[in-house]
């Protein structure tokens, strides 16, 4: 892992380009979620008070990363929540592709405590990579801000 936080922001001219790391795909996806919310606010100030669940499916691993982040973004927008803690309980193959199940924790957005950095408009497939190596997994993706 190249970052103590589990992710880092990479050089990009207009959007947020992120590399997230983990000992396995689940941990890399969890760190990708933390990084996405760190783009929006100071993630360390989000108290994981409320728990929720997410399940997504996709044809391939790249699609699974996309759907995971997109589901979190949509849930955040619809419910007015910010999330800071993620635990993927299962990630694996199905007969039609891949499925991810996770528990997420966060709290309602509070403008007095949660600094608004930039809004994330969308997750993109542009320059998305999932690199599996003997020492772990790296996922790279771009957020449209």
Domain membership flag for residue 94: yes
3-class secondary structure, 54: strand
What's the pLDDT at 2?
47
Q: Which CATH number goes with the domain that contains 135?
A: 3.55.10.10
Give the integer Cα–Cα distance in Å for 29 and 12: 21
Give the integer Cα–Cα distance in Å for 28 and 56: 16
What's the pLDDT at 19?
97
The dihedral of CA 117, 121, 127, 132: what is its sign? positive
What's the pLDDT at 7?
92
Domain membership flag for residue 62: yes
Q: Tell me what the mean pLDDT of segment 117-140 comes to.
A: 95
3-class secondary structure, 60: coil
Q: Where are the alpha helices (DSSP H) in the chain?
A: 25-40, 61-79
pLDDT tops 90 at residue 140: yes
Give the integer Cα–Cα distance in Å for 22 and 145: 25
Q: Tell me what the mean pLDDT of segment 73-91 comes to.
A: 97
pLDDT > 70: percent of the chain: 96
What's the pLDDT at 1?
47
Residues 6 or more apart from 17 whose CB is under 8 A from it?
9, 10, 11, 127, 140, 141, 142
**How many residues can be counted in the chain?**
145
pLDDT tops 80 at residue 94: yes
Phi, psi of 121 (to 5 degrees): -80, -40
Residue 104 structural domain: 7-144
Domain membership flag for residue 2: no
Q: How many CB atoms lie within 10 A of CB 121?
A: 11
Domain membership flag for residue 29: yes
What's the pLDDT at 9?
86
Domain membership flag for residue 1: no
What's the pLDDT at 13?
66
Number of domains in the chain: 1
Domain membership flag for residue 112: yes
pLDDT > 90: percent of the chain: 88
Q: What is the pLDDT of residues 17-58, one digit of tens each?
A: 999 999 999 999 999 999 999 999 999 999 999 999 999 999
Domain membership flag for residue 64: yes
Domain membership flag for residue 97: yes
pLDDT tops 70 at residue 12: no
């Amino acid at each position: 892992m190249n970052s103590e936080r589990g992710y880092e922001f990479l050089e990009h001219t207009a959007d947020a380009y992120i590399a997230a790391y983990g000992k396995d795909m689940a941990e890399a996806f969890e760190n990708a979620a933390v990084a996405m919310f760190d783009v929006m606010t100071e993630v360390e100030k989000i108290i994981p008070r409320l728990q929720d669940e997410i399940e997504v499916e996709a044809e391939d691993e790249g699609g699974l990363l996309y759907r995971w982040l997109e589901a979190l973004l949509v849930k955040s927008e619809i419910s007015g929540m910010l999330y800071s803690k993620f635990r993927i309980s299962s990630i694996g193959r199905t007969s039609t592709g891949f499925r991810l199940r996770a528990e997420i924790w966060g709290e309602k957005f509070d403008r007095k405590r949660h600094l608004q950095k930039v809004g994330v408009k969308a997750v993109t497939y542009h320059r998305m990579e999932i690199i599996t190596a003997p020492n772990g997994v790296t996922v790279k993706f771009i957020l449209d801000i």
